[in-house]
Amino acid sequence: MVTTSVTPAGLASLSGLTNGVDTNSIITQLMSLEAQTQNNLKAQKTTEQQNVTTLQDLNTTFANLATSAATLADPTYWNPVTVTSSNTLVTATANSGAQTGSLSVTVGSTASAQQLRFNNTAALTDTVTTGSPKFLITRADGSTEQLDSSNNTLGGMIAAINATGTGLKATTTKLDDGTYRLQVVSATSGAASNFTMTNLDGSAILGGATVTAGSDASITIGGDTVHSANNTFANIANGLSITLDPTAPANTTVTFSVTQDATSMTSAVGGFVTSINAALTKINTLTAPGTSGQSAGPLSTDSGIQQLGNNLLDAVYPTDGTSLASIGIQLDRYGAMTWDAATFQAAYTADPAGTAAKFTKAANGFANRIQTIANAASDPVTGSITTSITNHNSTITELTASIADWDARLALRQASLQEQFTAMQTALSQLNSQSSYLNSALGLTPSSSSSSSSSNPLG
């Protein structure tokens, strides 16, 4: 049976013509051998891509570690305190440098915004301005602003007041007779928020308004009274910011107790140690040399990553040879950091400044040492892991180009094989045709041809 196929080059091939040989199968097997080098390149590219993903994950780990280290390397971070208040309507938050101890304040008043409640009511379509559709807002500082009601109506006035940027808010109450009472309030509180609203000529709108003036909040600390346009007094005393609830009663004395928060500091340092151990574990897994029955890590031959793990371990001990054991941090015999929270908390409670110094002191503090190592590894430009990722990506680019070159090379090779085998099959076909013709001309049948093959020179 004769079969034909078309190659990518457009060449017709004959498979099994005259001799029953499946040339397509032969070509396929030959091309499989030819493609082995390209397959090896593809496998190498896959490995490189996996290495890049692995390194990117490791880079993220060290970037996060650098951030955590930077936090603990900052001396201002090492003064966490807990603030409690004797009144839930008056609260305080601690700022950097908050002092432990107690602080008493007396509430004078809370801040409020000015409100105008107009005396006369009107329908939304009623004319309420005189002389001009515009009306005048006069602020507490003497500045003025003209707003345009567009059509002199109450509805137009409300829209103008509620437009963006006026700092005012207009609301209405619908009464039983179908008319509306207008109220206008300042968007901000404090005495500076006070304003008036009149016609351009200064005459009253809607019969004038009942005014509830805006006022500042006030508190008294140690005989001194201080004011705020809102209900928050930022960094007012002992590193505290005090906030009044709008319903806080006047003449109420509140005591704040500020204590050192050793618990939160212990938690922060414990989390830091955990992050370091996680980074060490990841490096050990990635660089594992491999043993009988266990595969080597994907970065087992990367000496730079192995050195990075050694640098982290070395950072536990400063160059001056002092130990962190007194604050609960040590290395065990397996090369992992151990953490004793109780030891740290006791040390920090007894000597907050001295404990903090072990982490922050110049460039030799523990957190500073870890930060230096983590930054050197994960810097987005010069980091050792970043550089390794760049190198692997360059290799991937080169492999991609080589694989593409092999695509073209293999296509040409297959076309050449197809052409050669097609020519061979054509030649064999021609020889068979000539043989049949000569046999016919000599009066030989296929059987007699076979029996007299010894005397037939063309047999």
What are the domain boundaries of the chain? 81-110+217-260, 115-212, 263-378
Whole-angstrom CA distances from 336 to 276, 280, 329 are 9, 8, 10
Q: What would you report as the CA-atom Rg of the chain, rounded to the nearest whole angstrom?
A: 44
b (16+ CB within 10 A) / e for 64-78: ebbebbbebbeeebb
For the residues 274-289, what does the mean pLDDT come to?
90
The percentage of the chain sitting over the pLDDT mark of 70, rounded to a whole number, equals 90
Supply the pLDDT for residue 161.
Answer: 96
Per-residue pLDDT band at 249 (split at 50, 70, 90) = very high
CB 73 within 8 A of CB 359: yes
Supply the pLDDT for residue 91.
Answer: 96
Residue ranges with strand state E in 125-179 = 134-139, 144-148, 168-174
Supply the pLDDT for residue 19.
Answer: 55
Q: Does the pLDDT value for residue 457 go beyond 60?
A: no
Give the CA-trace dihedral at 318, 321, 322, 328, to 10 degrees: 70
Q: What is the pLDDT of residues 8-59, one digit of tens each?
A: 444 444 444 445 667 788 878 877 887 788 888 888 899 889 989 999 999 9
Length of the chain: 459
Per-residue pLDDT band at 7 (split at 50, 70, 90) = very low
Supply the pLDDT for residue 18.
Answer: 47
Q: Does the pLDDT value for residue 319 go beyond 80?
A: no
Chain mean pLDDT for the chain: 86
pTM flag (> 0.75)? no
Q: 115-212 — its CATH code?
A: 2.60.40
Supply the pLDDT for residue 454.
Answer: 47
CA gap 13, 365 in Å, rounded:
77
For the residues 400-407, what does the mean pLDDT come to?
87
Per-residue pLDDT band at 458 (split at 50, 70, 90) = very low
For the residues 315-321, what does the mean pLDDT come to?
72
Q: Which of residues 438 and 217 earns the better pLDDT score? A: 217
- Write the DSSP symbol of residue 99: P
